[in-house]
Amino acid sequence: MTNPDATRQRILDAAIRVFARKGYHDARMDDIVEEAHVSKGGVYFHFPGKDRLFLAIIDYFAELLEERLTKAIASQQGGVQRVTAALEAGVNTFAEYRGLAKIFLIQAVGLGERFERKRLEINDRFAALIRTYLEQAVEEGDIPPLDAEMTAYAWVGAIYELVTRWLLTGQPELERWVPALRTTLLRSIGLDAAASGGDHAV
């Protein structure tokens, strides 16, 4: 007997490949049916239309990103270490899941209010994680007082800008921009690039 969850994931994986290759507008449900090797009825049972499937992919990426960040954060002690872990896990997830990142950061832009609201929802979830540990770092005295909410959104924006440029052009190379981004963001909260705790404040 076919496992519905496995079938759904198979369709999602196929759709990610199709959308990454063709883009939202040029991708057809028939392309996804063919890629997934699932009947058209099976695809439409799980996802009634292309927009619903596209939104499901964005949700899937959000859950993956949040899972990666939470796992990275859980392995660290102290607010600063957790903020740094969240930053690095976020960037690494975008790099590892390039097709998903392209769908979320590039293809979903300009598709209408429904998609923009979904993107904002994911931005909020990402920023909320960073904000939590920025506030913790302030409470622990590791960094000076700051507006954690605005700082978190600024960090998310900086990450998205560099990842989007990299997805579109391949430049700058990951080996260059990831360390540079980490240095810039840590300095924005009063920490040395090599900071691993509160004793590296600049």
pLDDT score for 2: 66
- Residue 200: predicted pLDDT: 39
Q: How many residues does the chain have?
A: 202
Q: Where does the pLDDT of residue 40 fall: very low under 50, low under 70, confident under 90, or very high at 90 and above?
A: very high
Mean pLDDT of 30-42: 93
pTM confidence score: 0.78
Query: How far is 39 from 59, CA to CA, in rounded Å?
Result: 23
Two tokens at 109?
């832009």
CA angle 137, 71, 125 (to 5 degrees): 70
Residue 1: predicted pLDDT: 52
Mean pLDDT for the stretch of residues 148-155: 94
Q: Which residue has the higher pLDDT, 28 or 86?
A: 28
User: Which domains, ranges and CATH numbers included, belong to the chain?
Assistant: 1-48 (1.10.10.60), 55-200 (1.10.357.10)
Sign of CA dihedral 24, 20, 16, 173: negative
Distances (CA, A) of 70 to 87, 95, 112, 163, 193: 11, 17, 30, 20, 22
Considering only residues 91 and 32, tell me which one the structure prediction assigns the higher pLDDT: 32
Please give the average per-residue pLDDT across 89-104, as a whole number: 83
pLDDT 10s digits, 104-143: 888 777 777 888 888 888 889 889 988 988 898 899 888 8
Tokens of 150: 């605005």
Q: For tokens 């903020």, what's the residue?
A: 83
Q: What is the structure's pLDDT at 167?
A: 86
- Close Cβ partners of 28 (under 8 Å, ≥ 6 residues apart): 50
- By the 8 A CB rule, do 115 and 54 touch? yes
Count CB neighbours of 25 within 10 A: 9
d(Cα 28, Cα 135) in Å, to the nearest integer? 45
The model's pLDDT over 169-200, given as tens digits with 9 standing for 90+, comes to 888 887 888 788 888 888 898 876 554 443 43
Tokens matching residue 3: 């496992």
CA dist., res. 74 & res. 180, Å (int): 24
pLDDT of the residue at 148: 94
pLDDT digits (tens, 9 = 90+) for 10-25: 999 999 999 888 888 8
Tens of pLDDT, residue by residue over 58-93, are 888 888 888 988 888 888 877 677 777 877 888 888
Best mean pLDDT range from 41-55, 85-99, 100-114: 41-55
Buried b (16+ CB within 10 A) or exposed e, 36-52: bebeeebbbebbeebee
Nearest to 83 by CA among 165, 160, 140: 140
Mean pLDDT of 152-180: 87
Block residue for tokens 């979830």: 125
